[in-house]
Amino acid sequence: MYRTLTTLSLTAAVLLLSGCANGISTQQVHKELEGPEWVVQSFREIDGTTTGPGTVALIVRFIPPDTLSAKADNELWGRYTIQNGTLSISKLGGTKRGLSPGSREDDFMQALENATSYSIDGNKLSIHYFDKTRAINLLAN
């Protein structure tokens, strides 16, 4: 009986600690994403090639707990959720000014609206969209 209780107590402690560790790493990743302004450096196309960001700076910011703010030719905003390794952006709206020649704002909005996941490596962020067949690559500003 004592051995069974000890085993159960140790199992519960391991589960509790692993849950805490996962929570810390999840919080850490959220903080990395939510910290800086991210500036688009390139688009990774479906064939694996990369193309430039266009003539207008494309900037996105994740503001806790769930607000997305972006700038291009227009101001953009929406909501984001992060759950089980996925990134979802919804209710994307914005101002309706015209687009500058060479602007990739439409591609940027399409990438954000279809986001499925993201990865962070130091000061580099990749937002994957269309089931990870494409990505936008961003740098912390």
Tens of pLDDT, residues 101-129: 999 999 999 999 999 999 999 999 999 99
| β-pairing verdict for 115-121 and 37-44 | unpaired
Closest CA to 71 of 109, 35, 110: 109
When pLDDT is averaged across residues 8-29 and rounded to a whole number, the result is 37
Q: Looking at per-residue confidence, does 12 or 57 come out higher?
A: 57
Task: Provide CB contacts within 8 A for 53, sequence distance 6+.
Answer: 39, 40, 41, 42, 43, 104
* pLDDT value of position 30: 67
Structurally, at CATH architecture level, domain 35-140 sits in Beta Barrel (2.40)
Q: Looking at per-residue confidence, does 84 or 81 come out higher?
A: 81
* pLDDT value of position 31: 74
Q: Is the pLDDT at 13 greater than 70, yes or no?
A: no
Q: How many CA atoms lie within 13 A of 8 on its CB side?
A: 5
* pLDDT value of position 11: 32
When pLDDT is averaged across residues 95-102 and rounded to a whole number, the result is 94
| Residue 22's pLDDT band (cuts 50, 70, 90) | very low
Give the Cα separation of 140 and 97 in Å (integer).
Answer: 26
pTM, two decimal places: 0.77
Q: Is the pLDDT at 20 greater than 60, yes or no?
A: no
Give the Cα separation of 10 and 7 in Å (integer).
Answer: 5
Beta partners for residue 135, in sequence order: 44, 128
